[in-house]
C-alpha cells in the first residue's frame, strides 16, 4: 500500500513538472503596443512584419532599452542621438513619425546620409517634412490626401500601377494604397519610381470630391533622392507597409524590396521609434506562442510514456532489476578475465594413515574385526592411488601437483 501511495505522489510531482515544462516551452516574453506603424505592434496597423523580416536577415538592431523602476519594468526608446549610426554600415528606417524632429535630429540624420548612410522615410501627414528640412533634403511630402478614380472599394484606397523599373520595384505591378499623400520632388536630385494615375487629384479642401482648381495627377508616390554619398528612399504612404495591407496586391513584395534595399551591404538596420506618440505604452508581457521545439516535444512524450509504464505495470522495476543483475555479472566476468580475481586454491588432502584410523575405529567399535577394517582401508588407498595415476582424482595432492607441473 505504501509503495502505491509513493508512486502516486511521485507521479503527481512528475506530471506537475511536465505541465510546467510544457507551459514554459509555449510562452515567451513579448514587447507589444497598439500604436500605429510601430514595429512592436503585431496587429493590423503595426509594421511588426517588417521588423521580423529584418530580423531574419540578421541585421535588426534594437533601438530601445529596458528600465526597471521598483517593481515595474518599462521600455525606453533611444533617441537618434543615442543610436550608433555608422554611415558605412548602418541603415535607418522611419515609418509614420508623429513627434516633431529637432534641429539636432536633422543634423544627425543629414550627416549620416551625406557620408554614405541609407534612410527610408515613409510618411503622409506626419512630421517627415520637419526632418527633411532640418537635414537639407530637397524632397517634401505634400501633406494632402491623394484621391484616385483607380481605386479599390473607395477612392481613398487607390491603386498605384504606374511603376518604373528599379530594384525597389522588382516583382511589383500594383500596390494598394491606404489614404496616401504625395511627394514634391526636385527632378535633378530625385528619381521617381511610382506614380498615382492620371485620374488622381489632391483633395485640398478635404471634402473627398474632385473640384475645379484642385491639382490633378499623376503624383509621385515612391522616389529616391541622392544626398551627398548617401540616399533617401521616400514613400508617401506608410499604411502600404502595415501588417493588414501586406496581403493585398504586391504590397508584401514592396515591403520585402524596401527592407532588402536597406539591408544590402549593411550590417545593422535601425528602426526609429522615438518619434511616435504612444497612446498605448510599449509593455513587456508573456504571450502564449503555441510553439514547442522538437526536443521539447520528444522530452514530454518520453516523460509521459515512462510515467505510464511505471504506474500501470511493474516493467520498470523488473527492467531495473535485470539491468542491475546483468551489470554485476558482467563486471565480475570482466574482472575475472582481466585476472583481477584469482582461482580458489584447492584444499590439500593428506595421505591416509591406516593404522591410526584402525585404532580409532576399533576403540569406538571393539566388536568390529580389526583385520577386515584394515583390509578395507588398504583397498580404498590402493583404489585412490590408481585413480591418481590415471588423473581421475584431481582433488588429491599429487594429482594437483602433477597438473601444475604440466
The strand pair at 90-95 and 268-271 is best described as parallel
Half-sphere exposure of 232 toward its Cβ, with a 13 Å CA cutoff?
33
Average pLDDT across the chain, whole number: 81
Of residues 211 and 96, the one with the higher pLDDT is 96
Domain ranges of the chain: 27-288, 354-405
DSSP string, 219-278: -EEEEEEEETTEEEEEES-GGGGSGGGTTSTTHHHHHHHHHHHHHTT-SEEEE--TTS--
Q: How far apart are CA 105 and CA 378, in angstroms?
A: 125
Residues 258, 60 contacting (CB under 8 angstroms): no
Indicate the fold that domain 27-288 takes in CATH.
Rossmann fold (3.40.50)
Please tell me the predicted confidence (pLDDT) of residue 335. Answer: 72
Asked whether residue 55 carries a pLDDT value surpassing 70, the answer given is: yes
Please tell me the predicted confidence (pLDDT) of residue 371. Answer: 79
Please tell me the predicted confidence (pLDDT) of residue 369. Answer: 78
Asked whether residue 314 carries a pLDDT value surpassing 90, the answer given is: no
Half-sphere exposure of 229 toward its Cβ, with a 13 Å CA cutoff?
7
Please tell me the predicted confidence (pLDDT) of residue 148. Answer: 94
N- to C-terminal Cα distance for the chain? 63
Please tell me the predicted confidence (pLDDT) of residue 74. Answer: 66
Give, as one character, the DSSP assignment of residue 216: B
Asked whether residue 4 carries a pLDDT value surpassing 60, the answer given is: no
Question: Ramachandran region of residue 55, left (φ > 0), alpha (ψ -120 to 50) or beta?
Answer: alpha
Beta bridge partners of 27: 288
Q: pTM score, two decimals? A: 0.64
Asked whether residue 361 carries a pLDDT value surpassing 50, the answer given is: yes
Asked whether residue 93 carries a pLDDT value surpassing 90, the answer given is: yes
Residues 135, 109 contacting (CB under 8 angstroms): yes
Asked whether residue 108 carries a pLDDT value surpassing 90, the answer given is: yes
Strands, E assignment, 125-210: 140-141, 145-148, 151-152, 154-160, 162-163, 175-176, 183-184, 190-195, 200-203
Q: Dump pLDDT digits (tens) for 128-165.
A: 999 999 999 999 999 999 999 999 988 889 999 999 99
Asked whether residue 382 carries a pLDDT value surpassing 70, the answer given is: yes
Which residues make Cβ contacts (< 8 Å) with residue 355, sequence separation at least 6?
Answer: 374
Quickly state the pLDDT bin for 400 (edges 50, 70, 90). Answer: very low
Q: How far apart are CA 98 and CA 38, in angstroms?
A: 11
The strand pair at 145-148 and 268-271 is best described as unpaired
Cell output for 333: 566476468
Q: How far apart are CA 228 and CA 134, in angstroms?
A: 15
Q: Looking at residues 275-292, what average pLDDT do you find?
A: 57
Amino acid at each position: 500500500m505504501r509503495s502505491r501511495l509513493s508512486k502516486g505522489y511521485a507521479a503527481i510531482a512528475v506530471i506537475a513538472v511536465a505541465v510546467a515544462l510544457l507551459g514554459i516551452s509555449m510562452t515567451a516574453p513579448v514587447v507589444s503596443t497598439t500604436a500605429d506603424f510601430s514595429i512592436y505592434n503585431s496587429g493590423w496597423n503595426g509594421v511588426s512584419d517588417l521588423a521580423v523580416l529584418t530580423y531574419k536577415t540578421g541585421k535588426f538592431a534594437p533601438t530601445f532599452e529596458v528600465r526597471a523602476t521598483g517593481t515595474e519594468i518599462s521600455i525606453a526608446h533611444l533617441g537618434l542621438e543615442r543610436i550608433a549610426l555608422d554611415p558605412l554600415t548602418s541603415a535607418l528606417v522611419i515609418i509614420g513619425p508623429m513627434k516633431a524632429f529637432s534641429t539636432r535630429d536633422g543634423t544627425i540624420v543629414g550627416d549620416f546620409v551625406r557620408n554614405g548612410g541609407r534612410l527610408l522615410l515613409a510618411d503622409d501627414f506626419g512630421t517627415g517634412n520637419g526632418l527633411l528640412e532640418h537635414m537639407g533634403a530637397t524632397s517634401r511630402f505634400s501633406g494632402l490626401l491623394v484621391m484616385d478614380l483607380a481605386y479599390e472599394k473607395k477612392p481613398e484606397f487607390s491603386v498605384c500601377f504606374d511603376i518604373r523599373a528599379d530594384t525597389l520595384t522588382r516583382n511589383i505591378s500594383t500596390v494598394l494604397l491606404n489614404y496616401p499623400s504625395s511627394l514634391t520632388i526636385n527632378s535633378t536630385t530625385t528619381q521617381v519610381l511610382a506614380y498615382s494615375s492620371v485620374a488622381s487629384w489632391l483633395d485640398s479642401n478635404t471634402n473627398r470630391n474632385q473640384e475645379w482648381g484642385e491639382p490633378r495627377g499623376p503624383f509621385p508616390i515612391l522616389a529616391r533622392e541622392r544626398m551627398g554619398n548617401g540616399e533617401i528612399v521616400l514613400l508617401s504612404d506608410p499604411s502600404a507597409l502595415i501588417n493588414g495591407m501586406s496581403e493585398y496586391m504586391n504590397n508584401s513584395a514592396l515591403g520585402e524590396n524596401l527592407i532588402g534595399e536597406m539591408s544590402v551591404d549593411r550590417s545593422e538596420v535601425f528602426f526609429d521609434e522615438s518619434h511616435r506618440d504612444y497612446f498605448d505604452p510599449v509593455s513587456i508581457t508573456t504571450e502564449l506562442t503555441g510553439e514547442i521545439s522538437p526536443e521539447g516535444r520528444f522530452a514530454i512524450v518520453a516523460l509521459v510514456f515512462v510515467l505510464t509504464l511505471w504506474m500501470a505495470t511493474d516493467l520498470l522495476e523488473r527492467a531495473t532489476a535485470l539491468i542491475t543483475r546483468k551489470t554485476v555479472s558482467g563486471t565480475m566476468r570482466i574482472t575475472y578475465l582481466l585476472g583481477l580475481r584469482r582461482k580458489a586454491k584447492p584444499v590439500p588432502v593428506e595421505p591416509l594413515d591406516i593404522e591410526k584410523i584402525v585404532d580409532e575405529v576399533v576403540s569406538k567399535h571393539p566388536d568390529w574385526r580389526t583385520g577386515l577394517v584394515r583390509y578395507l582401508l588398504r583397498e580404498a588407498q590402493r583404489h585412490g592411488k590408481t585413480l591418481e595415476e590415471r588423473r581421475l582424482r584431481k582433488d588429491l595432492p599429487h594429482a594437483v601437483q602433477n597438473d601444475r607441473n604440466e
